[in-house]
Every structure is written in structure tokens, then in C-alpha cells.
Structure 1
Amino acid sequence: MKRFGYILFLMLAVVASVQAQQDTIYDLGEVVVSDSRLYKFSQNLKTETLKDSVLQRNTATLTDLLTFNSLIYFKENGYGMVSSPSFRGTNAAQTAVIWNGININSPINGQVDFNTVMTNAYDAVTIRSGGGSVQYGSGAVGGSVHLENRIAFDEDDSHRYQVRYGSFNTLSYNLRSQLSGKNSYLDAGIDRITSDNDYEYPGTGIRNRNGAFEHLNLSLNTGYKLDDKNTLGFFGMFGDSDRNFSGTLTAPASDKYADKNIRSMLKWTNTGRSYESELRIAYLFERYEYYADHESDRYTFGRQHSAIADYNLDYHISSRIKTSLLLNYTSVSADGSNIGDNNRNTLAVGLMADHTLSEHWKYGINLRQEFLNEFDNPMVFSAYTIYRVLPEYSIKANISRNYRVPTFNDLFWDTGGNEDLEPEHSMQYELGNILNFHPFRFTVNLFYIKAKDMIKWQPDTSGQWVPVNVASATNYGLELRGKYKISIGEHQLHFNASYAYTKAIDNNTDKQLIYVPYHKITGLADYSFRRWNAYYQFLMNGEVYTTTDNSDTVDAYMVANLGINYRFFQRDHGLTLGLRIANIFDKYYENVAYRPMPGRNFQFQLTYNIN
């Protein structure tokens, strides 16, 4: 931790130097975003931001939200159980989750369980497709998911009280208050969901006997504008989850899993005429406990503490050229029943540059190099160009090198860890097309990912499973998305649809990677009239292979949800009553072999908003 202090001192010195050299006042505006890199250096990639009614329409977890509103494929070990994404055919550890600009993938297992993330605590959730290792570090290979809280000095208070009750004795509530003044902001919320989750597997007569779960999430975000140049922000989150683990069609289960997460971050933003300086100091904590028998007191555990200092300096050399300096120091300590007691320190330096050649054409180059940790750290980069061919048509192209470092489980697991592992590397190429004829918008993206040195657990000569850098894969595909929105008097219609074709080949076997569907389709039809709103959303996942030789599969499936809402009173003081019917056609389906998902189920929702 002594090194952490030195790096923090250096960052503070840089900030002070910048502030001393620039004394021109710059208006920060009414809203301060928590993740400026997402908006300033992601124009070359496909991004989709979900907020407002979309966050409220879906149930509370990040899995539920993204299953129907993104092209990410999710593997759930039964509803509400461990949930891991496959983004463009990559695995869960190759998808980064970014909380207010900070990468929160676990250093223990390399991923985030999307069923433990409660979405009601955030102002927006953004899906960023494509490599992002320069901006966000390890794991941002297939793409990244961004959880955003925004600080607003708009003197506009709002309060939301929401209760949901549905099938399987599922009860959730969300309380959130946002108080905004000219120079201060406070956002506090609480989310809780409990469920017996004892659904019947459609058509089998078998019930999910060990699937009960509960999640609690507390959030606190606050900001204070010191003057026209300086803003302080604090972002905090506490999560507590307790889940029994569902069994399969062929084997019952009695185990459970409990985990706690604490995230806190202090952010200082200083802005001048030609620069913006951001310093983040963050602390992350996680602890899990695994019980082989949920009625027993015996468990194994893992725990990690991360201290992060992250500095970003954006400087406009001219109206057409902007640059950004990135410094990040991360110190991680982890211990557990199977990994011992270990530490990792990483220093990262990055430089990003963006040049607007004309009103039609721009390009950028980004670099990142890491130091201090025990690996042979690759220099990663990205380069892109954007050209507006016509006012209604633009084309984008980018190339990037990305990476993922070995996890603590990979390195130190007591019955097979390998401390000689090297980071995974990948090259990614993408071509994007945007066609925008209001009220119609259509995008086409082609991608190609070549990955090597992938970490794979396999048996050694003695039969013991160990991780080694042997796997390589080639992923390529096509993504289509269309939107149409129109108003006719008091009638508002909104349609959108997405399609992804993904080929993900294990180069050693020439077979499709497991749990990567060739096809995924999502769609939404939304209709509003006065105080009424109704929507229909559907999802089609193609067949996936469950074995490396592609001999066994999980069948393709299509499921659909239907919802209707009615708002009483006025918009600024409204009570909304809603009904959501999930899996309205009562389809039997699995997204992991032998682990059925729920049939038709219902959810009633009551929301009271004060604006």
C-alpha cells in the first residue's frame, strides 16, 4: 500500500499543476456524468443506452434487463442463479462491467454475476460493443456493460416508491429519492427482492425445490459544486445476496451461496477552458461464502479488497484536436479457502487522441501500457475512423488489441493453479454503418475477433485439472438493429428489433464454442395513449452446443412478455399500476442444459412518482 500512496501523491500533483496553469472559468452545466470516457472516446463503437421506462419495465436484475434489451446471450443455472454473459461469442471473464467508470470484474474469478446487480439504483445502463481494454483494462474484450449514476445540479427533486409482487411469492420494492440544488445533489435508494422461486418446470410435474433467493442493495450518490470549476462527487453501493442453488432435472441440490459487495468512490472534477481533469479514488470489497449444505454452518470463502486511484486529463489542443492522459493504479489483496493469501499491484498509463479533420471525417488513436504486476504486459491499442458520407449515412471502422489477465483462481487455486500463466490477447476488427432517416434508424455492424493464449482448464498427465495458455478462437459475425418511432395525435408507437449472427470457432477443434448461439433476435412493440401504455417484447435464442465436440445441444427457443400500465393523476405526481406477464405462451426452455426456466408467470407493479 506504500506504492499506492506514492502514486496518489503523483496524481494529486498533476491535478494541482493543471489547475494552476488554467484559470479560465468553464461552466460545468447541469449534469456531471460519472464515466466521461464512455461518452468522449466511444463514438467509434456501437453503444446502446437503456434508461427511464426501459429500466422500469423489466424486473430488478441486470440479467432480466439485458436478456430482452441486448444481443448478449446469458447462461443462467436456473432463474435467479449464477448468470454469466457471452458477448459476441466471448466468455464471461471477457465482458467488463464498469461501475461509474471503474472496472468491477472480480479479480478472484474474473467476472460479475449479473443476477446480483440491481438496476433500479442507476440512471442508465449502457451496452458498449467491442474491445475497450485501453479505456477500461482487463476483460473488456467482447464488450462492456456500464452502470451509470449522474450528478445533476438542475434544482429538480424526484422520488420513486415502487412495489412488485408476483408468481412464486416474489416480492420486491424500490425506494429512491433524488434531491438537487444549484450546488448540491443527493441520490439515495434501497432495493430488495425475495422469492421462493419454486416454479414448476413446464410439462414435467417437477418443481424447482432449492431456488429461493434474496438480494438487498443500498445506494448513496452525492455531489457538491465547490465553484464554477470544481465539483466533488461520492458514489457508494452496498449489496448483500443470499441464494440457494437450484438443482437440475436429473439431480437435486441443497447448496447455497452468499456474497457481499461494497463499492465506494470519491471523484474530483476540475474544468477549465481547454481541459477537464478527473481524479477518482475508489475502494471495492467482495466476499463470498459457499455452503455445500444450506442447513450447515460449514463453508468455503473468498475475499478481496481493491484500492484504486484513477486519473484522467482531457486537453483540447485546438477545436479539432483533443487528447486524454490516463493514469491508473490498482492494488488488490485477496484470500480464501482455496487461493491462499495473495496480492497484485498494477500501474497503467494510457494516451488517447482524437482528430476531427472536417465536419464529415474524424479519426483517433489510443494506447495503454501496464507495469508492476507479475505478467509480461502487452501494449494495447485501438485506432478508428468515422466518416459521414451523407447527412443520413455514416460509416465507422476500428481495430483494437485487447487482453485479459489471469484470475486469482487461475493462478493460485490450491489443487491446480498455475503461476506461470500469461494474459490472454486478442485482435478485434469492426465495421459499422448507421442509416438515420427520422423516424427510422438502422445500424449494421460486422466484427472479427482473433484470440490467442486463452486460459483453459484441462487435465495434466496425472489427471489433475490445471489452467494453461493453449486455446485460441476466431469469432466473427453480424449485428443488425432497427428502430422506428412515430406519434399520431395522442398515440405513440415505438418499435425496435435486433439480430445477431455469431460464429465462434475453437481453432484447435474447428468446432463452435459451447453456449454461443449462432442466432439471437430481440424485439419490442410499445404503444402509449394518454395514461395507457402497453408493450410486447420477445426473444429468440438459437440452438447452442453444450459439449466441445458439438455432440449435445440446448434447443432453440422463443419467449415473449406482455405488459400493460395505467397512470393515475398527473405526470409530476403520478401513481402507475402495471401488470407484466412473462413467458405468455408458457414455453419450456433452457439456456443451460437440464436447468429449465419458469413457465408463464405474473407480476403486479405499483409505482408512485413525485417530480
Structure 2
Amino acid sequence: MNRQYCLISLFLLCCGFFGNAQTDTIQRLDTVVLNDSKLVHFSEGFKLQTLSDSILDNHTSLTDVLRFSTPIYFKENGYGMVSSPSFRGTNASQTAVIWNGIPINSALNGQTDFNTIAPQASDAITVRSGGGSVPYGSGAIGGSIHLNNEMVFKEFSETDLKLLYGSFGTVEGNFKTKMASKTMFADVHVNFISSENDYEYLETDQKNENGEFNRFNAGTDIGFKRKNHLFTWNTNYFLGKRNFSNTITAISRSRYEDVTTRNLFSWKVFGKKYESTLKVAHLYEQYWYFANRETNNYDGGRAHTLLSDYAFDYKLQKDIKLSFNANYTRIEGKGTNIGTNTRNTLTFFLMLHHQVTDAFSYGASVRQSFLNDFDNPFLFSADASYKVADWYTVKANGSKNYRVPTFNDLYWNAGGNDALQPESSLQGELSNVFHFGKLQLEATAYYIHSNELIQWRPNASGVWMPENVSEVENYGGEFSATYKTSFQKHDFEIQANYAYTKAFNVEKQKQQLYVPFHKATGLFTYTYNRFQFEYQSYYNGKAFTTTDNKGSVKAHSVSNIRTSYTLGPKTNLIMLGVNANNIFNTYYENVAYRPMPNRNIQTFINIKF
């Protein structure tokens, strides 16, 4: 397979040089460049939600950002602990996280812990609902979360420093600086948070013991533009150390440490009718789990992922765009419980977008992957968007998606099952978008049918092991509303989301675990001159915690407020503010027997120059 890798890499480089040879059709590069063209150019029929800068800046983790802004439910084992999503009723391995166009879910368990992602490290975060396995690969069944860094090629420099201190001994710092010219761009960002995390368990005489955590995140983004060439480098480093906190019923003495690194190099060549992109990436992850934090005995694992990706986008006509993509990924994993294993994946996919008229467009895509573990299904996707009137647009999409078994599923000691097959799903979605002046409404209905769902069950000997056993159906509706208005120096904004989710095992006709039927979020922002007030809230309906649907976590609503005042000239701004979280002091759990924080206060200062 190493020989195959060399041949594939040589092919990709030749493709890049072919693009370089076409210097007679140079196209002016955009001032603002994103690294994920598939999201920009091939998602018109999908529901997309891009989160504002203010939302990203106001939260300490990606969990909090999405919990208060989207229909996604998060299973969080106490504040700051492991956090996994349920997107449209799917499980954590069926939600893909995409960083600058490449998937970054763990090669070991197939998931992303959303408490390890610093939202301030990204310039834009977009939530793409529905199937995305054709452009983004395994796991993009419920939807995908896109973390993008923008590069702006114009003369400017800016620096942003934020310091926060809050309840439970919480300290956070954020630093980001950017410098650019017409041909170069560079930014550096650093985030650190530490917390004793010793909040009281309301309605009990206990508190969150063994819950300390600290996280460090740093990265840089560099771009260089010359004629019709663009070279970019993105890197990110994460180091986390945390104890795993108690539950109401059990004491914990465990701790967990993990480190991840991501490096992505991209070379783009632009022409009048084409765009050629070569990407090479290396991802590394390692963890250490200590059952007793006082000892040096641990279980651990690590994985290296090497990715080569080539995309050739071509304008067949003014209104027809094609994208051919070839990808090779090699994963090497090693761990206490999984031994040493490798996976090689070669993928080809083709995407089409046709802007038939100013009002109507459609897209179609196909994908085939080849693995050394098992056969992969042939995937397809189709979408369309039609502007019926100035105030009304209809969107629709349908796709076949999949998820491959993880290293843990296949090789876990005394439980792995190397005969597992990939999960597959068929789904469809219909959205209606309305614009009435300053009011925007969107209503979406979807359906997902999944086969070969991987579940861990006890065998005849009582040993838990994964099997392809379940057939699951998910369907529901989502509604969102946004309203903005202003008069004189007063600005108002209201955002609201509601989701109904039904996700059930076809055989047992029972709702899936930790999938509430109802979720709603709301945000109200008022700005006057340099003063800003923000009220945000979410509601989670009851979620079942047992397969017989008898155990559950109760429905709850949590509200936060934030106030800030900005001082100084525009070139040297100082913002002073206060966050009050869980203002009604609500007792709630997202995972059974793991209470979340009571009312707490945070103060912050933000300096921009």
C-alpha cells in the first residue's frame, strides 16, 4: 500500500502542475478566501446556518455555542467533561466535524468531543444539516459542523485580547492577532481555560468533586498569493487535562489527558474556467486514561492520519460547474485495547452544480471509496433550490450516506468485531424559506432511514461487543426565525429555533437514547450606542436514558444574560462585560445522574487594537 500511496501522491502532484501550466487563463483571486469550496459552491439545496462572530466570542466551548443556537442536543457528562452531539436524533459518530474542508473526527472512536474545540479559533462556523457523506465522507449522516478560517488579502492588522474570570475558579484567556497585505496573510490565535469546576449540586448536599479541567489551544493560519497561485498553511494544537467528575451516585477518582495536532497545507491554482486544489494534511491524536488520578497506571491510544486530496473544479459553461475529487487517507492506530492497526482509503467523487436560471439551480454528486477493511457502498446526493418569488424559496435534497466502523468497534480487546459492515442511510429533506422585509423564516421537514446501525450488546458469554443489528428511522421538523430592526441608535435582533425529533428503533418502536422530542432556543440582543444587552435561552424536552424508555432526564430550560459596554476610539476598543449564566438557578441534567452548574457569574474585558 506504500507503493500505492506514492503513485497516488505523484498523480495528485501532476494534476497540480497541469493546473499550473494553464497560465493563459488567469482569474483574479478573491480578497477573502475560504478553504472549503464544497460548502460554498455545492450546498445550495441544503439547510445552512452560519453563526455570527458575537455568538462565537461569548462562549468558552463549541458545546455552549451550538447548544444555545441550534437544534442539536448535547450529552455532556458534567460541565467541561466529554460532550457528544445528537444531530436530528443520530448518534455522536454520525455527526462529522470539518476543519477547513477536511474531516477531523477521532480515528479511534469516530467522534469529536465538542468541549475540546475552542470556538474563538475559527473565523466562521457553519452548521450543515442533513447527509454529507459524498463530499465529507464517513459519519456525515445527521449533519456536519464546519470550522473555517478566513484569509483576507488586503492591507490591515488587528489584535484581540480577552480575559475572563468567573465562578468556580474559572479563568480564561483568548488572544488573536492578524496581519495582511495584498499578497500575504498571517494570524496567530491562543486560547486557555482553567476551572476548579466545583459547583454545588442543587437539591442535594453534594458538589461537583474531581471536576477540575484545563484546556490549551493554539494555532496559526498563513497564506501567500502570487499571480494565480495561492499557498496556505493551517495548524492547530490542543492539550487537555481534566479529571472525570463524580455522579450523584458514584465517586470518581479518574483523570484524562489528551493531545491533538492538525496541519494542513493547500496549493490552489486559479484559471479563467478552473480551480485546481491540492491538499496534504497530517492529524495526530493521543490520550491517556488514569482510573486512579494518583497513580501512573493508564490505558491509552494514539492515531496518525495522513491525507492527500486533489480537487479540480471546472466551469463547463457559465452556469455549469463540475468538481472532480480524489482522496487518499492512511490511518495508523495503536492502543492498549486495540493493538496496532492501519486503514487505507482511496476515494473518488464527482459533483455537479447547474444554475439553470437566476431562480432555479440543482446539484448532483456521486462517490465511491475503497478500503482494505471491507466494501464501501456507492453513495449519491442530489439537491435543488427554486426561488418561487422574491419572498419565497424552496430547497430540497436527498442522499445516501454511510459510517464505517471505528478502530474501537473493530479491534477492542475482548469485544471488538472485525466482521462489522458500514452503516448506511437514505434520507430526504424539504425546506421552505420566507423573507418578509426584516423577518426571515425557515421551515424544514426531513426523513432518515438507517440500516446496519452498530450497537454494543452482550453476547452469549456476557461480553459486550458491537453488532450490525438495528434499523432506525428518524424524522422531524425544524423551524427558525430571525428578525432585525433598528431606529436612531437602537438596534434589535431576535433569533428563535424549534425542532421536533422522532428517532426510533424499528424493531422495538422505542425512542433512541438521549433524543428529546422537543428542543427550542432563543436569542434577544439590544444595542444602544456602545451598550449591549443579550438574553439567550434554550429548552430541552424529556430525553430517555434507557432502551425501554422508562428512565429519563427531565425537561428543562436554561437562560443566560450578558451585558457589555465599549470604551475608547474605534482603533483601540475596550469592552467591559458581565455574563450571568443559569439565571433562574435551574437544576438540570443532560446525562443521567450528572448535574450541570447552578447560577454563576463571569466578568470579562476585551481589548481590540
In the TM superposition, what whole-angstrom CA distance separates every residue of 1:111-132 from its partner, at most 9, and x where no partner exists? 0100011111110111110000
TM-score (norm 1): 0.99
**Residue of structure 2 equivalent to 1:180:** 180
**Residue of structure 1 equivalent to 2:499:** 500
Q: Is the 8 Å Cα contact of residues 44 and 383 (structure 2) preserved in structure 1?
A: no
**1:23 pairs with 2:30:** no
Give the distance between the partners of 1:460 and 1:89, measured in 2 at CA: 26
Q: Is the 8 Å Cα contact of residues 152 and 180 (structure 2) preserved in structure 1?
A: yes
**Residue of structure 2 equivalent to 1:115:** 115
Give the distance between the partners of 1:246 and 1:54, measured in 2 at CA: 28
In the TM superposition, what whole-angstrom CA distance separates every residue of 1:220-263 from its partner, at most 9, and x where no partner exists? 11000122x10100000000000100111011100011000000
**1:363 pairs with 2:362:** yes
In the TM superposition, what whole-angstrom CA distance separates every residue of 1:383-409 from its partner, at most 9, and x where no partner exists? 111111101101011110000000000
Give the distance between the partners of 1:372 and 1:114, measured in 2 at CA: 28
**Residue of structure 2 equivalent to 1:315:** 314
**Residue of structure 1 equivalent to 2:43:** 42
Give the distance between the partners of 1:204 and 1:173, measured in 2 at CA: 33
Q: Is the 8 Å Cα contact of residues 125 and 146 (structure 1) preserved in structure 2?
A: yes
**Residue of structure 2 equivalent to 1:104:** 104
- Residue identity opposite 2:32 in structure 1: V
Aligned pairs (5 A) from 1:474-489: 474-489=473-488
**Residue of structure 2 equivalent to 1:200:** 200
Give the distance between the partners of 1:56 and 1:2, measured in 2 at CA: 46
Q: Is the 8 Å Cα contact of residues 22 and 271 (structure 2) preserved in structure 1?
A: no
**1:459 pairs with 2:453:** no
Give the distance between the partners of 1:343 and 1:575, measured in 2 at CA: 51
Unaligned runs of 5+ in 2: none
Q: Secondary structure at the match of 2:590?
A: coil
Q: Which moved more, 1:49-58 or 1:419-428?
A: 49-58
Q: Is the 8 Å Cα contact of residues 164 and 172 (structure 2) preserved in structure 1?
A: yes
**Residue of structure 1 equivalent to 2:576:** 577
Q: Is the 8 Å Cα contact of residues 51 and 123 (structure 1) preserved in structure 2?
A: no
Aligned pairs (5 A) from 1:296-315: 296-315=295-314
**Residue of structure 2 equivalent to 1:52:** 53
**Residue of structure 1 equivalent to 2:375:** 376
Give the distance between the partners of 1:385 and 1:146, measured in 2 at CA: 21
- Residue identity opposite 2:548 in structure 1: D
Q: Secondary structure at the match of 2:139?
A: coil
Give the distance between the partners of 1:128 and 1:609, measured in 2 at CA: 31
Q: Secondary structure at the match of 1:78?
A: coil
In the TM superposition, what whole-angstrom CA distance separates every residue of 1:203-227 from its partner, at most 9, and x where no partner exists? 2121101100000001011000122
**Residue of structure 1 equivalent to 2:11:** 10
In the TM superposition, what whole-angstrom CA distance separates every residue of 1:516-561 from its partner, at most 9, and x where no partner exists? 0000000000000001000000000000000001011110000100
Aligned pairs (5 A) from 1:427-442: 427-442=426-441
Q: Secondary structure at the match of 1:25?
A: coil
Aligned pairs (5 A) from 1:229-240: 229-240=228-239
- Residue identity opposite 2:205 in structure 1: G
- Residue identity opposite 1:604 in structure 2: T
**1:537 pairs with 2:536:** yes
Q: Secondary structure at the match of 2:595?
A: coil
**Residue of structure 2 equivalent to 1:598:** 597
Q: Which moved more, 1:564-573 or 1:128-137?
A: 564-573
Shift of 1:53: 1.2
Unaligned runs of 5+ in 1: none
Aligned pairs (5 A) from 1:205-604: 205-227=205-227, 229-604=228-603
Shift of 1:438: 2.1
Q: Secondary structure at the match of 1:382?
A: strand
Q: Is the 8 Å Cα contact of residues 535 and 563 (structure 1) preserved in structure 2?
A: yes
Q: Secondary structure at the match of 1:19?
A: helix
Shift of 1:571: 2.8
Give the distance between the partners of 2:557 and 2:247, measured in 1 at CA: 21
In the TM superposition, what whole-angstrom CA distance separates every residue of 1:177-215 from its partner, at most 9, and x where no partner exists? 000111111100111100000000112121101100000
- Residue identity opposite 1:510 in structure 2: Q
Give the distance between the partners of 1:409 and 1:443, measured in 2 at CA: 39
Q: Is the 8 Å Cα contact of residues 442 and 483 (structure 1) preserved in structure 2?
A: yes
Specify whether residues 122 and 541 from structure 1 end up closer, same or farther in structure 2 by C-alpha distance, changes over 3 A only.
same
- Residue identity opposite 1:38 in structure 2: L
Q: Secondary structure at the match of 2:156?
A: coil
Give the distance between the partners of 2:193 and 2:83, measured in 1 at CA: 17
In the TM superposition, what whole-angstrom CA distance separates every residue of 1:280-302 from its partner, at most 9, and x where no partner exists? 10000000000001111110001
Q: Which moved more, 1:540-549 or 1:462-471?
A: 462-471
In the TM superposition, what whole-angstrom CA distance separates every residue of 1:295-317 from its partner, at most 9, and x where no partner exists? 11110001000000011111001
Q: Is the 8 Å Cα contact of residues 581 and 603 (structure 1) preserved in structure 2?
A: yes
Shift of 1:354: 1.1
Give the distance between the partners of 2:206 and 2:121, measured in 1 at CA: 35
Give the distance between the partners of 1:327 and 1:40, measured in 2 at CA: 18
Give the distance between the partners of 2:462 and 2:285, measured in 1 at CA: 32
Identity rate, percent: 46
**Residue of structure 2 equivalent to 1:139:** 139
Give the distance between the partners of 2:49 and 2:420, measured in 1 at CA: 35
Q: Is the 8 Å Cα contact of residues 79 and 597 (structure 2) preserved in structure 1?
A: yes
Q: Which moved more, 1:362-371 or 1:45-54?
A: 45-54
Q: Is the 8 Å Cα contact of residues 221 and 236 (structure 1) preserved in structure 2?
A: yes
Q: Is the 8 Å Cα contact of residues 22 and 273 (structure 1) preserved in structure 2?
A: no
Give the distance between the partners of 1:27 and 1:450, measured in 2 at CA: 44
Give the distance between the partners of 1:4 and 1:283, measured in 2 at CA: 14
| Aligned-residue RMSD, C-alpha | 0.9
Give the distance between the partners of 1:189 and 1:397, measured in 2 at CA: 38
- Residue identity opposite 2:190 in structure 1: I
Shift of 1:22: 5.3
Give the distance between the partners of 1:378 and 1:5, measured in 2 at CA: 26
Q: Secondary structure at the match of 1:317?
A: strand
Give the distance between the partners of 2:319 and 2:20, measured in 1 at CA: 22
Q: Is the 8 Å Cα contact of residues 154 and 180 (structure 2) preserved in structure 1?
A: yes
Give the distance between the partners of 1:22 and 1:72, measured in 2 at CA: 46
In the TM superposition, what whole-angstrom CA distance separates every residue of 1:9-40 from its partner, at most 9, and x where no partner exists? 10111122233245212111211101111111
In the TM superposition, what whole-angstrom CA distance separates every residue of 1:396-430 from its partner, at most 9, and x where no partner exists? 11110000000000000111111111100000100
Give the distance between the partners of 2:339 and 2:363, measured in 1 at CA: 43
- Residue identity opposite 1:63 in structure 2: T
Q: Secondary structure at the match of 1:12?
A: helix
Shift of 1:570: 2.2
Give the distance between the partners of 2:543 and 2:608, measured in 1 at CA: 42
- Residue identity opposite 1:106 in structure 2: S
In the TM superposition, what whole-angstrom CA distance separates every residue of 1:482-513 from its partner, at most 9, and x where no partner exists? 00000111000000100000000111210000
**1:91 pairs with 2:91:** yes
In the TM superposition, what whole-angstrom CA distance separates every residue of 1:42-87 from its partner, at most 9, and x where no partner exists? 11111111132111122x2111111101110000000000000000
Structure 1 residue runs of 4 or more that deviate by more than 6 Å after TM superposition:
none
Shift of 1:373: 2.6
Q: Which moved more, 1:357-366 or 1:90-99?
A: 357-366
Q: Secondary structure at the match of 1:427?
A: strand
Q: Is the 8 Å Cα contact of residues 44 and 384 (structure 2) preserved in structure 1?
A: no
Q: Secondary structure at the match of 1:69?
A: coil
In the TM superposition, what whole-angstrom CA distance separates every residue of 1:151-186 from its partner, at most 9, and x where no partner exists? 111212110011000000000101110001111111
Q: Is the 8 Å Cα contact of residues 452 and 471 (structure 1) preserved in structure 2?
A: yes
Q: Secondary structure at the match of 1:252?
A: coil
Q: Secondary structure at the match of 2:232?
A: strand
Give the distance between the partners of 1:21 and 1:196, measured in 2 at CA: 58
- Residue identity opposite 1:199 in structure 2: Y
